[in-house]
Amino acid sequence: MSGVTLKNVVKRYGDVQVIHGIDLDIADGEFCVFVGPSGCGKSTLLRMVAGLEETTEGAMMIGTRDVTRLDPSQRGVAMVFQTYALYPHMTVRDNMGFGLKMNGHPKKVITEKVAEATRILKLEPYLDRKPAALSGGQRQRVSIGRAIVRGPEVFLFDEPLSNLDAELRVEMRVEIARLHREIGATMIYVTHDQVEAMTLADKIFVLKSGYVQQAGAPLHLYDDPDNQFVAGFIGSPAMNFIPAKVIGQAEGRLIVRPDGEDDVTLEAKTTGAGLADGTPVTIGIRPECLHPAETGLSATVEMSEELGGVSYLHTRLAGGRPMVVERRGIREMLEGRTIHLTANPADIMVFDPDGRRQR
């Protein structure tokens, strides 16, 4: 069994703390993704698991072994980086087998392991080529192959698709998902791209400024975010946020008035415990949860993105806030018009002044 457990892990560079006491549990065979904006500490945390960065405080287990102070080579991990770092003068075959050769494995074993990785990654046609004669996607497959031949307990990926163009990224994403299904090893994957996180992960850890904001299954984070940061980070187009004030409570509902919308009230399904009338809050509504109504938010359509099956209306509310509305199956030209929109109480989230979700 080789899950990964981090206990109160801290990283400091001198006086600068970049990882603030992170606890996490990754089950054996789980595909876990660290996602967050640039600079939030994803690579640092991953490199700490790999042993490439020293852990300042806390403990790290892989399976039942405490690896906190072990060298990278003793941890049973293999890492794939954003830049492929292949040896330019070696063939694909030799690039994949080189690590094993350096560690003194017999030729027969190397040949078998390279053949297995080649099969998994469908690299047969390229075995005798040098990296210069490969596309970006093929090079990244070779560097994944290099990780596979080592037979690690845990695979670590640091933004492996960020150097590829959009189309190839989607293709490689599917390949990595397939690889996980076939190999079944524990994988930790770092990305700033929430779509990659949503499509690949069994479990996502959302990071911000060296703290875990929330952990859970992709759709759990989408449906039930703990705070405004997670709500805004997961989902594309992003959730709309509108500043508002509490104006009353009804059974299980909070009545709010969006700032600058004197005639509009919205009801959100929340107990709103402790939010007195007049409290400033932020309400969050996803683009697909807004629908036309007789009354409700009045929004002027500034631009409409027509993608065929779906359209995104970029609107502006009377109070001046932008709001994106998703529409399906309707292709009416609405640019320049003012429309009225509302959402079901269960689809309106409420965040307190500190960004905490009020359930």
Q: Which is nearer to Mg ion, 36 or 296 (CB)?
A: 36
Residue 16 touches ligand ADP, criterion: CB under 6 A: yes
In the complex, the smallest distance separating the C-beta of residue 11 from ligand ADP, rounded to whole angstroms, is 8
By CB under 6 A, which span of 33-41, 167-175, 220-228, 294-302 interacts with ligand ADP? 33-41
Report the site for ligand ADP in 36-95 (rule: CB under 6 A): 36, 38-44
CA proximity to 83, closest of 136, 149, 41, 152? 136
Q: How many CB atoms lie within 10 A of CB 308?
A: 6
Q: Which is nearer to ligand ADP, 41 or 225 (CB)?
A: 41
Q: Quote the least distance from Cβ 39 to Mg ion, whole Å.
A: 8
Instruction: For ligand ADP, give the closer residue by CB, 207 or 350.
Output: 207
13 binds, among ligand ADP, Mg ion, none (CB under 5 to 8 A by kind): ligand ADP
Per CB under 6 A, 15 contacts ligand ADP: no
Between the CA of residue 204 and those of 42, 162, 196, 308, what are the distances in Å? Answer: 12, 18, 11, 31
State both tokens at 214: 């929330």
Of 77, 73, 76, which Cα lies nearest the Cα of 102?
73
User: Shortest Cβ distance from residue 13 to ligand ADP (Å)?
Assistant: 3
- Nearest distance from residue 211's CB to ligand ADP, in Å? 12
Residue 206 or 325 having the CB closest to Mg ion: 206
Which residue has its beta carbon closest to Mg ion?
Answer: 43
Please list, in sequence order, all residues whose beta carbon lies within 8 angstroms of the beta carbon of residue 310, skipping any fewer than 6 positions away: 326, 327, 328
What is the rounded CA–CA span in Å between residue 349 and residue 215?
A: 19
- SS3 label, residue 242: strand
138 binds, among Mg ion, ligand ADP, none (CB under 5 to 8 A by kind): none
Chain positions contacting Mg ion, by CB under 5 A: 43
Residue 42 Cβ, how far from Mg ion at the closest point, in Å? 5
197 and 33 in contact (C-beta within 8 Å)?
yes
Establish if 100 lies at the interface with ligand ADP (CB under 6 A): no
Q: Which is nearer to Mg ion, 43 or 358 (CB)?
A: 43
Binding partner of residue 39 among ligand ADP, Mg ion, none, CB under 5 to 8 Å per kind? Answer: ligand ADP
Cα 49 to Cα 52: distance, rounded to the nearest angstrom: 8
Beta strands in the chain (DSSP E): 4-13, 16-26, 31-35, 57-62, 65-66, 77-80, 154-158, 186-191, 203-208, 211-216, 240-250, 253-258, 266-269, 280-285, 291-306, 310-317, 322-328, 338-342, 349-351, 357-358
The nearest distance, CB 231 to ligand ADP, in angstroms, is 20
Strand pairing partners for 351?
282, 357
| Separation of alpha carbons 147 and 189, rounded Å | 14
Nearest of 316, 313, 338 to residue 327 by alpha carbon: 313
Size of the site for ligand ADP (CB under 6 A): 11
Q: How far is the CB of 227 from ligand ADP (least distance, A)?
A: 19
Instruction: Name the residues that contact ligand ADP, by CB under 6 A.
Output: 13, 16, 18, 36, 38-44
